Amino acid sequence: MTSTLEPTTTALPPLKLGSLAVDPAVVLAPMAGITNPAFRTLCREFGAGLYVCEMITTRALVERNEKTLQMVRATPDEQDAFSVQLYGVDPATVGRAVEMLVDEEVAGTRPAHIDLNFGCPVPKVTRKGGGSALPWRRVLFRDIVRAAVRAAKDVPVTVKTRIGIDAEHVTYLDAGRIAQDEGAAAITLHGRTADQLYSGTADWAPIARLVEAVDIPVLGNGDIWEADDALRMVAETGAAGVVIGRGCLGRPWLFGDLAAAFAGTTRRMLPTLREVAAIMHRHAQLLGEEQGELHGCTDFRKHVAWYLKGFSVGSDTRRALAMVSSLDELAGLLDRIPDQPYPIEVLGAPRGRTSPPRPVALPEGWLADRDDPRPPAGAELDVSGG
């Protein structure tokens, strides 16, 4: 892989979450259907950090839903650093789910870290008062964080949120102070409001304001497409670390670049298409080991366009790769594509889902009383993953 290696100054110290040290201070954000064991393993092969599993719904976990119990299983290389993100709207259910993870070790190991999702902007979540809608109800938010922290004992609990529901209903400063008061080890802030979804450009200024407002570490999230974006975010905001979501889609080697950047070097990976093809095959192989070859290859199909972004690959080949059903078929198709250098024109460009801004779907009367402690009716999801 084409790269450079020059010493510079160390950019960022390790992130301390209770007794857990994350070095480099890089976290893989939970992404539904993406951050399964195979993808976490692949990313970890390129660089260290904290790799969070797909979002786990507390109700589904408490009810011992079979799919959720499978999703929350740690891989062999995660035994000492398994990280779980939980979604829940009822303090009692969240507390019970954390107890199961910490005391019963339902993941096959005791998690090293638990994150609470208060950032999801998806309408099916916010219309029930969950995700990025929930911090508006600050007493309920407090009760959920309190229940999780108490049940977690010595396992660090963190919180992920957005700036607010919209420009008129900003919640991040209250959320940060409450999370700190209730014993959260850190808070992640995505630089968008819920109504922005993933549109436009993330606003990093609130991340800097939150850093000034709280004493716990603040992690920055939003529009980190390259390692140099992460360096810039840290420099501009004072964040203690970064959380990577869409930027690593089709680019798991980004974690190698981030490790280099935070170690103070300028090494960056620019893999040729032949090298990308080997990574694609490795990804599909890991999915096959996890799900069986057919299901693994089927799951891999959604990654093809991300891996090949910017490369000169014919539409027929792309279409065939997006219908692949075996590892041999995948290898054969990839072998037919002529090697070519990495398309540097795609560096720094957005990846993954985008969507125009739209009003946030909320329960009736949700904005009326910020101090209503009652969990929203019917808000608990019974399916994990987002």
The residues assigned a catalytic role are: 120
H/E segment holding residue 255: helix 254-262
DSSP 29: P
Report the distance separating Cα 63 and Cα 183, nearest Å: 27
Contacts of 30 (CB under 8 A, 6+ apart): 52, 53, 54, 55, 85, 115, 117, 386
Cβ-Cβ contacts under 8 Å for 304 (sequence gap 6 or more) = 280, 318, 321, 322, 324
Q: CA 260, CA 262: separation in Å to the nearest integer?
A: 6
Residue for token pair 């090494």? 267
CA distance 55 to 87: 7
* Contact of 208 with 238, CB cutoff 8 Å: yes
Q: Which helix (H) or strand (E) holds 95?
A: helix 91-99
Length of the chain: 386
Residue 219 CA to residue 47 CA, distance in Å, equals 18
Element housing 91 (H / E): helix 91-99
